[in-house]
A and B are shown apart, each in its own frame.
Chain A
Amino acid sequence: AQSVAQPEDQVNVAEGNPLTVKCTYSVSGNPYLFWYVQYPNRGLQFLLKYITGDNLVKGSYGFEAEFNKSQTSFHLKKPSALVSDSALYFCAALDTGRRALTFGSGTRLQVQP
């Protein structure tokens, strides 16, 4: 069975500083990886995905993620954090057979002004 791990419950960063939210995965076959963001009382919003190709994936709102096959990681990054980036972030892997997602436990990002 596949799994996704987000080792940090919370990440704190000062506005303007770079941020990283960590994700590691365990899948059989080729990984299909996603990042989603959830704001309070709002639905899940898609940020970016890795299917194949370049290891650096660019997504919405200035976020990017780096796929590292040898470390089985897919860390989310942003060069300069905004207070409005404060939210709950989920990493997920697609089960290609069922076409459903397996989610990590989530990481709360807090950006301080």
Chain B
Amino acid sequence: SAVISQKPSRDICQRGTSLTIQCQVDSQVTMMFWYRQQPGQSLTLIATANQGSEATYESGFVIDKFPISRPNLTFSTLTVSNMSPEDSSIYLCSVSNNEQFFGPGTRLTVL
């Protein structure tokens, strides 16, 4: 199994600011993903974080709004840029080996 940690666990931010979320895995993994869970909603894939190259974004998500870094096989960051209240969500990091594991999530509230 893979143990995933995320920082911060939660934050309250002002409109127009940016927040960077960190995801650390205790082992090297090939595939890392970022999901969003809006209040009362299901999980939606934001992007696949590719090591050494640009992330692959899903429809409706763009790099300018959600820049992602993946400098190595155990770490990734997701930045939520120029935040608005509609960005209030739980953001989850996930990794895939033979299983799919999820981090504890970062609960973001934008005022």
Least CB distance from A68 to B in Å reads 22
Identity of the chain A residue whose Cβ is nearest the Cβ of B45 in the assembled complex? A100
Q: Which residues of chain A from 59 to 113 have any CB-CB distance to chain B below 8 Å in the complex?
A: 90, 92, 94, 98-106
- Residues in A with CB closer than 8 Å to B105 are 43-44
Query: Whole-angstrom distance from the CB of B38 to the nearest CB of chain A?
Result: 12
B92 close to A43 (CB less than 8 A): yes
- Main secondary structure on chain A at its contact with chain B? strand
The interface bits of chain B over 9-49 (1 if a CB of A lies within 8 angstroms of the residue's CB, else 0) are 00000000000000000000001010000000111110010
On chain A, the residues within 8 Å of B56 by CB distance are 98
Report which of B48, B99, B107 forms a contact with A98, defined as CB distance below 8 A.
Answer: B48
Q: Which residues of B contact A36 (CB under 8 A)?
A: 102
Tell me if B99 and A46 are in contact (CB < 8 A): yes
- Number of A interface residues, CB 8 Å? 20
Q: What residues of B have a CB within 8 angstroms of the CB of A90 in the complex?
A: 42-43
Number of chain B interface residues as a range: 20 to 34
| Given A43-B102, A43-B105, A104-B45 contact (CB < 8 Å) | no
Look across to chain B and name the residue whose beta carbon is closest to the beta carbon of A45. B102
Chain B CB within 8 A of A34 CB:
yes
Contact B48 A94 (CB under 8 A): no
CB distance from A65 to the nearest CB of B (A): 15
B residues whose Cβ falls under 8 Å from a Cβ of A: 31, 33, 41-45, 48, 56, 92, 94, 96, 99-105, 107
List 8 additional contacts besides A101-B43, A103-B42, A104-B42; criterion CB under 8 Å. A36-B102, A44-B102, A90-B42, A90-B43, A92-B100, A100-B33, A100-B45, A103-B44
Give me the interface of A with B, judged by CB distance under 8 Å: 34, 36, 41-44, 46, 49, 90, 92, 94, 98-106
